[in-house]
Structure 1
Amino acid sequence: MPLPKSSTPAAHHNFIWVSISCGLYWFAFSLTRPIITLYAASLGLKDIAIGIVLAVYALLPMLAAIPGGFIADRFGRSTVLRVGSLMMLGSGLLYLISSGPWTLALAQLLAGLGQMAVWLAVQVLITEGPVQGNEGRFATFSLYMAIGQMLAPILSGYLADHYGYKVVFAGYILSSVLLIFTSWQCRDEVPPTPGSGEGKAALSMPLGHSAGIIRHWFGKCLGLLRNRSFAVILLTTFISLFIVDVRTAYLPLHLESLGISNTKVGLLVSIGAASALFVRPLYPRLMARLSFSWMLILTYAVSLLLLFATPLLTSFYSIAALVFITGLALGINQPLTLSMIAHSTAPEERGLGIGLRLMSNRAAQLMDPLLFGLFTAFVSLRASFLLIGVLLLVCCAFTVQLQLSADRAPHSHVPYRDKKPRAST
């Protein structure tokens, strides 16, 4: 696979290890996420109970994402990566011994926190270094992510069908052990030292001075959120991750209701991830031809088809085609938002920007199961897909309007507007 040129052999070596860590993270995540819903159902959980178990995964990460970004900025991204990989191993052991809702919920809680730390760290690590001309680097990074997402669900479904859910959890443990190894090969390209002035003073306080640190965090967050285009990035991330989580968590339930086996369920989830492999050549060409606003409209229109068309389809092959097409639009979100964050944040604020983005991710993964659990308690699963689709359509319309208003404001603070990334091939 093509790799972007790095400034030095050491940087190139580090890029490979970070990308491998990204692939392992997504392999481990995609190994368990599609079957957690089915495993919870096999334990006798119903509707809202399943939604709560799924939502627990995102609860602590949503609250810890912003502090996690500051911790990564202060103590080093590779340190956060290593701690997160150890937490993932612990969650795997809990998955393995779980036999009821409480142990499963605890495993979900620890897995969510550990995976949040790993995903935050690898994203910040990949945005370090020169900003200009890095679109090929972001797209290649997303390629490793897509490979992990593609391979794991097929293996997960096959193992669940032939050997049981416990063997899938054993695979998650093995993936976490490998991630621990690769995490120790990664290093920070930007030293984990705070910037100058007020930021440096706040971050150099003793950890006991929590009030001053919290005020500093809050002020920095408000500074980024005042940028309407940065808010658009967060909303885009929320919408896209919401749809991806529907694909990995609730599409399997719909497929099971159609009598489709776990192996085929895993294959369908993998098809959605495989479509992201085509983003590597597509993304730079689209960026060269379309504005950010039109990219939003295009990706929203295509990705929302997953929610509106799924209830109407019963054929395995028609659903597979739908998952592939919508996966193309969803796959563009990753390099697009990473590229825009890299262009709109200073290096010492990169952890905070990624932390806010990650909080948006986890908010989507929290709201998805809660809304589905609520809707399925009153209407059918198919009707729930349509209701969620209508809600997200409203969110998409609001986000596009916000982006258009930012484009019309000539004096608005949009750092990347003057430095729109050039496509790299």
Structure 2
Amino acid sequence: MTKRSRTPLPGWLWLMVAAGVLTQTTANLVRPVTSYKLILLGWGETEIGLATAAYALLPLFVALPFGRLQARLRSPRNFVALGVLILAAGAAYLAVTNSVVHLMVASAVLGVGHLMFTIGGQSMVARRSKATQMDANFGWFTASFSVGQMLGPLLSGFILGGSSLAQAQAGGADLSFSINLALWVGAITSLIAVPVLYILRSTQPPPPTATQDLVTVEAGTKPSAMNILRLPGIASHMLAALALLAILDILVAFMPLVGESVGVSPMIIGALLATRGATSVLSRIFIRTLSARYSRNTLVLVSLIVSAAVIAVVPAVLGLGPVGIATAFVCMTIGGFTLGVGQPLTMTMISQAVPRSWRGTALALRLMGNRIGQVVLPIAASVVAGPVGPAGGIWFACAILGISGAERLINKRTGPNPPVS
């Protein structure tokens, strides 16, 4: 076991964590509320699947150019702040429109803002972190995402109340005001991140790294998508990252539908999603301890297989009364913890599988792969959910997790971490 020194988190990382909490609270408040807005307007699984795909469609085309841009910027602060403003604009756009086409466009705007923040943030972590600090720093940065994934659904559930839409409408209540209020709250929450980001000192240079590249390539080779994907392990790591992110998106989009189908209120659905986020925060806080004891390959494999197994249980038991709801919370607790482990480790694994100068582009390519999954998989999930019901969409995402885990087993990606030189 490699001895890890306990060093305090740098100030720039705390600021990025704070901004991450605010922006991810917005994203994870707005996205399930968008599903409820579509349900209220009379739309179903197909439209919700399309809205989820629209969130990732435009970012799919700009992820790689944005990653290359980050490699050339001295400081990504202005880029990240612009992303926050676009995120807020997308949330506000969702609040003011009732057109399904405009809702799709607004979801795409929201996705671009989220992408810009994520690319800028992960680029900063990759550039400013030593190899021995990378697991911990990515863990803290992604922990801020999990905090937002916890707070956003809690806020949405609190604002929308303890009755399902069908129950509220049967009682004569109009939830359109509450839905639009929640979207405006999301827009305002993300705007608070802008002054937080500007506390960062743009003239502060990244600290020098104390390690050599773990991977070298022939001089003059450009960091194109194909050249990155040819490097050993990259495609497998990106498949794992795609699967781990897809399940989060599909849970956020389809859990409201599952809840409505069995008469479970938005408050309980919000609490379930928040439980997933909270336990992911916990696992990411302890990511340094876990990666010191176990190899990254082992942890990612456990993340994929265990998450697939326990989350698949949630839609199956949710409609079985109090015992079923309690079981769903237990499964979300376990699944949230294991899901939280995988994402930051895939960031480290991709960063260390390419030359240092390629890291920004490689991480952007990872996001591009994630966005392909966010476009294709929700649409595929909605197709599955058509004949099977909304639970089918979640089971489909769990199957993708299982396939990614099987690929890693077949290709024997279960070895130790690469040595730090």
TM-score range, shorter chain: 0.7 to 0.9
Match of 1:418, SS? coil
Which runs of at least 4 in structure 1 moved beyond 4 Å after TM superposition?
A: 187-191
Residue 303 (structure 1) aligned to one of 298, 304, 307? 307
Output the aligned Cα RMSD.
2.7
Pair 1:352-2:365 in alignment: no
**Hey, what's the Cα distance between the residues in 1 that align with 2:95 and 2:285?**
39
2:27 aligns to what?
Answer: 29
| Cα contact 2:300–2:345 (8 A) shared by 1 | no
1:114 aligns to what?
Answer: 113
Pair 1:330-2:339 in alignment: yes
**Hey, what's the Cα distance between the residues in 2 that align with 1:56 and 1:330?**
24
| Residues 346 and 225 (structure 1), Cα distance of their counterparts in 2 relative to 1, 3 Å cut | same
Pair 1:227-2:231 in alignment: yes
| Cα contact 2:142–2:344 (8 A) shared by 1 | yes
Match of 1:164, SS? helix
1:97 aligns to what?
Answer: 96
2:194 aligns to what?
Answer: 180
**Hey, what's the Cα distance between the residues in 2 that align with 1:159 and 1:337?**
35
Amino acid at match of 2:419: D
1:401 aligns to what?
Answer: 410
Question: Per-residue CA shift, 1:140-166, capped at 9, x if unaligned?
Answer: 323333222212211111112386111
Match of 1:417, SS? coil
**Hey, what's the Cα distance between the residues in 1 that align with 2:286 and 2:194?**
33
| Residues 386 and 30 (structure 1), Cα distance of their counterparts in 2 relative to 1, 3 Å cut | closer
**Hey, what's the Cα distance between the residues in 1 that align with 2:299 and 2:80?**
32
Pair 1:270-2:297 in alignment: no
| Cα contact 1:157–1:262 (8 A) shared by 2 | yes
Residue 8 (structure 2) aligned to one of 5, 9, 20? 5
| Residues 407 and 62 (structure 1), Cα distance of their counterparts in 2 relative to 1, 3 Å cut | same
Q: Give me the identity figure in percent.
A: 23
1:49 aligns to what?
Answer: 47
2:144 aligns to what?
Answer: 144
**Hey, what's the Cα distance between the residues in 2 that align with 1:94 and 1:31?**
14
| Cα contact 1:88–1:114 (8 A) shared by 2 | yes
Written as runs of structure 1 = structure 2, the 5 A alignment for 1:194-233 is: 220-233=224-237
2:294 aligns to what?
Answer: 290
| Residues 383 and 115 (structure 1), Cα distance of their counterparts in 2 relative to 1, 3 Å cut | closer
TM-score, structure 2 normalization: 0.83
Once the two structures are TM-superposed, the CA of residue 126 in structure 1 deviates from its matched residue by 1.9
Gaps of 5+ in 2: 1-5, 162-174, 207-216, 319-323
| Residues 253 and 281 (structure 1), Cα distance of their counterparts in 2 relative to 1, 3 Å cut | same
Residue 180 (structure 2) aligned to one of 166, 180, 185? 166
**Hey, what's the Cα distance between the residues in 1 that align with 2:419 and 2:14?**
30
| Cα contact 2:76–2:124 (8 A) shared by 1 | yes
Amino acid at match of 1:335: P
1:58 aligns to what?
Answer: 56
Once the two structures are TM-superposed, the CA of residue 184 in structure 1 deviates from its matched residue by 2.4
Match of 2:131, SS? coil
| Residues 293 and 88 (structure 1), Cα distance of their counterparts in 2 relative to 1, 3 Å cut | closer
| Cα contact 1:80–1:121 (8 A) shared by 2 | yes
Amino acid at match of 2:242: F
Once the two structures are TM-superposed, the CA of residue 344 in structure 1 deviates from its matched residue by 3.1
TM-score, structure 1 normalization: 0.82
| Residues 384 and 28 (structure 1), Cα distance of their counterparts in 2 relative to 1, 3 Å cut | closer
**Hey, what's the Cα distance between the residues in 2 that align with 1:316 and 1:118?**
35
Count of residue pairs the alignment pairs up: 383
**Hey, what's the Cα distance between the residues in 2 that align with 1:283 and 1:392?**
20
| Cα contact 1:232–1:403 (8 A) shared by 2 | no
Pair 1:245-2:236 in alignment: no
2:12 aligns to what?
Answer: 14
| Cα contact 1:296–1:400 (8 A) shared by 2 | no
Amino acid at match of 1:63: F
Gaps of 5+ in 1: 7-11, 192-198, 203-215, 409-415, 421-425
Once the two structures are TM-superposed, the CA of residue 72 in structure 1 deviates from its matched residue by 1.4
| Cα contact 1:18–1:126 (8 A) shared by 2 | no
| Residues 84 and 386 (structure 1), Cα distance of their counterparts in 2 relative to 1, 3 Å cut | closer
Q: Which moved more, 1:378-387 or 1:248-257?
A: 378-387
Once the two structures are TM-superposed, the CA of residue 339 in structure 1 deviates from its matched residue by 2.3
1:210 aligns to what?
Answer: none
| Cα contact 2:311–2:331 (8 A) shared by 1 | no
Once the two structures are TM-superposed, the CA of residue 306 in structure 1 deviates from its matched residue by 4.2
**Hey, what's the Cα distance between the residues in 1 that align with 2:392 and 2:94?**
31
Once the two structures are TM-superposed, the CA of residue 303 in structure 1 deviates from its matched residue by 0.7
1:313 aligns to what?
Answer: 317
